[in-house]
Amino acid sequence: MSRSAHPAGPRHADVMTEGHYSAPAADLNVLDEKVWARTVTRDGDGALTVGGIAVARLAEEFGTPAYFLDESDFRARCRAWADAFGPDADVFYAGKAFLSRAVVRWLQEEGLNLDVCSGGELTTALDAGMPAERIAFHGNNKTVAEIERAVEAGVGRIVLDSFQEIVRVAHIARSHGVRQRVQIRVTVGVEAHTHEFIATAHEDQKFGIALADGQAAEAVRRTLALDSLELIGIHSHIGSQIFDMAGFEVSARRVVQLLAEVRDEHGVELPEIDLGGGLGIAYTSEDDPREPHDIAKALSDIVTRECESAKLRTPRISVEPGRAIVGPTAFTLYEVGTIKPLEGLRTYVSVDGGMSDNIRTALYDAEYSVALVSRTSEAEPMLVRVVGKHCESGDIVVKDAFLPADLAPGDLIAVPATGAYCRSMASNYNHALRPPVVAVRDGEARVIVRRETEEDLLRLDVG
């Protein structure tokens, strides 16, 4: 079970004795570099800076709440993944984690490909100039209109997710006079060690076609029989926020077994396998993510070994990291509004955002860290729960954490590792205005997704 996605108990179990929390061992002023973007540090006055800019200036210029994304960290992570997998593999950034036109341009400049899973993501990718052949199109229920757009644009691959979709994509490709490159998404029957809602390779869920009962082999049979489809490989994505490589190894082994069966039955060696995304990141000091290099080596070793024993040519590997690239690169900056000490329990610290900018705590019981960032403090640590301003008691941003006891309204606090699945899952609940994403690099900050305005809300409301 992932410690971040689905904790077994209070995160500070180590500091909890007989129902009482005692002070954390770590100095609250020290930023754990594991959970913060690479250029984050404290300046001489104790204020947090990112890309060389202090948060007070950022708050003044862009307001709060806001996501600040360390562009050089994002680019460095792209390069680390591309270098780790090398020229014989492809890295597809999973756009669902966070996508904008600037991100698409960075991906192109750093040599990555892009996985999209909706018409909206496809439009963003194409609009920002991503070459269609570098796009993979995913989804368990792509609409006919989406498939048509993807085929017309000439996407490099469509990942087929059901028997109906095999026929649907074949039909659309034929009517466009195209031979569409496709992969088949299989479910390998692995129980990924993560939260139930983000595990995707066990059999009782909606994605993919099961290897069990020969379903996937049948999907291969049907796909190979259709002239308008070019089957280039098999795809498996086992889940998200996973630290343990064992699930990926089982997945790789089972996918290679299927390739061997396909070779035996059809005399065809499929040239590619895609092992999906899902690599975990550090949300708290207790998480220990692996480096891309280790991941690449583990995956390519297992694929090479399995292929040797099945006497198959080693296929080209692709992977689809989303969170592992963008997650650690951003933090959310909030202003403290009210502070409510509940005697004998904890102190509730309310910020100017909440579940509308980070639904992950409410949805997956996810864990986050938090720090006072507008200044340092020598005050005693106090146990807090950071909550939002929504009309919902489950509106929790950080469930259990320590902040200095002299915390006051107006202080800025920041939650790190919010680059993935926060802005992309943000909502307008209570007519909240979704916060901007500001890219910071080398002393310059620029808005890449602007803050929503009340006019935006009213523009949609046409009644």
Closest separation between CB of residue 239 and ligand LLP, Å? 8
Query: Cβ(127)–Cβ(100) under 8 Å?
Result: no
Q: Does the protein bind ligand LLP through residue 419 (CB under 6 A)?
A: no
Q: Looking at 128, 238, 250, 324, which residue binds ligand LLP (CB under 6 A)?
A: 324
Task: Round to whole Å and give the CA distance between 331 and 413.
Answer: 10
Cβ closest to ligand LLP, residue 54 vs residue 99: 99
Q: Does the protein bind ligand LLP through residue 292 (CB under 6 A)?
A: no
Q: Does the protein bind ligand LLP through residue 198 (CB under 6 A)?
A: yes
22-41 residues near ligand LLP, rule: CB under 6 A: none
Phi, psi angle pair for 331, to nearest 5°? -130, 160
Q: Looking at 3, 6, 77, 138, which residue binds ligand LLP (CB under 6 A)?
A: 138
Of 21-29, 176-184, 257-265, 321-329, the window that binds ligand LLP (rule: CB under 6 A) is 321-329
Q: Is 392 annotated as a binding residue?
A: yes
Closest separation between CB of residue 293 and ligand LLP, Å? 17
**Active-site hit among 117, 307, 391, 422:** 391
Of 78-86, 163-171, 224-232, 271-279, the window that binds ligand LLP (rule: CB under 6 A) is 271-279
Q: Does the protein bind ligand LLP through residue 277 (CB under 6 A)?
A: yes
Q: Does the protein bind ligand LLP through residue 199 (CB under 6 A)?
A: no
Q: Is 291 annotated as a binding residue?
A: no
Neighbours of 245 (CB within 10 A): 16
Token couple for 102: 């600037």
Nearest CA-CA partner of 151 in 132, 164, 166: 132
Closest separation between CB of residue 446 and ligand LLP, Å? 25
Query: x/- site string to ligand LLP, residues 343 to 362, per CB under 6 A?
Result: -----------------x--
The verdict on whether 117 is a catalytic residue reads no
**DSSP count for the chain of H helices, then E strands:** 12, 23
Q: Is 360 annotated as a binding residue?
A: yes
CA-CA distances (angstroms) from residue 375 to 361, 407, 411, 425, 433? 26, 10, 8, 30, 27
Strand partners, 115: 94, 136
Q: Looking at 90, 121, 320, 395, which residue binds ligand LLP (CB under 6 A)?
A: 320
Q: Does the protein bind ligand LLP through residue 193 (CB under 6 A)?
A: no
Task: Round to whole Å and give the CA distance between 223 and 445.
Answer: 48
Nearest CA-CA partner of 326 in 55, 93, 35: 93
Closest separation between CB of residue 8 and ligand LLP, Å? 18
3-state secondary structure of 164: helix
Of 17-25, 89-97, 127-135, 219-227, the window that binds ligand LLP (rule: CB under 6 A) is 89-97
The DSSP secondary-structure symbol of 290 reads: P
Closest separation between CB of residue 433 and ligand LLP, Å? 21
Nearest CA-CA partner of 68 in 78, 58, 76, 77: 58
3-state secondary structure of 314: coil
Q: Is 308 annotated as a binding residue?
A: no
Of 31-39, 276-284, 379-387, 426-434, the window that binds ligand LLP (rule: CB under 6 A) is 276-284
| DSSP, residue by residue, 16-83 | EETTEE---SS-TTS--TTTS-TT-EE-TTS-EEETTEEHHHHHHHH-SSEEEEEHHHHHHHHHHHHH
- What number of chain residues touch ligand LLP (CB under 6 A)? 23
Q: Does the protein bind ligand LLP through residue 328 (CB under 6 A)?
A: no
Q: Is 322 annotated as a binding residue?
A: yes
Q: Does the protein bind ligand LLP through residue 275 (CB under 6 A)?
A: no
Task: Round to whole Å and give the CA distance between 109 and 412.
Answer: 34
Q: Looking at 56, 84, 91, 94, which residue binds ligand LLP (CB under 6 A)?
A: 94
Phi, psi angle pair for 383, to nearest 5°? -75, 125
CA-CA distances (angstroms) from residue 378 to 30, 42, 375? 12, 15, 10
Task: Round to whole Å and give the CA distance between 245 and 7.
Answer: 19
Task: Round to whole Å and give the CA distance between 401 and 346.
Answer: 10
Task: Round to whole Å and give the CA distance between 7 and 287.
Answer: 11
Query: x/- site string to ligand LLP, residues 230 to 269, per CB under 6 A?
Result: -------x--xx----------------------------
Binding residue numbers: 278, 320-323, 360, 364, 392, 421
Binding residue numbers for substrate: 323, 360, 364, 392, 421
Provide the binding-site residues for ligand LLP, judged by CB under 6 A.
94, 96-97, 115, 138, 198, 237, 240-241, 276-279, 320-324, 360, 364, 420-421, 425
For the annotated catalytic residues, the residue numbers are 391
Binding residue numbers for pyridoxal 5'-phosphate: 278, 320-323, 421
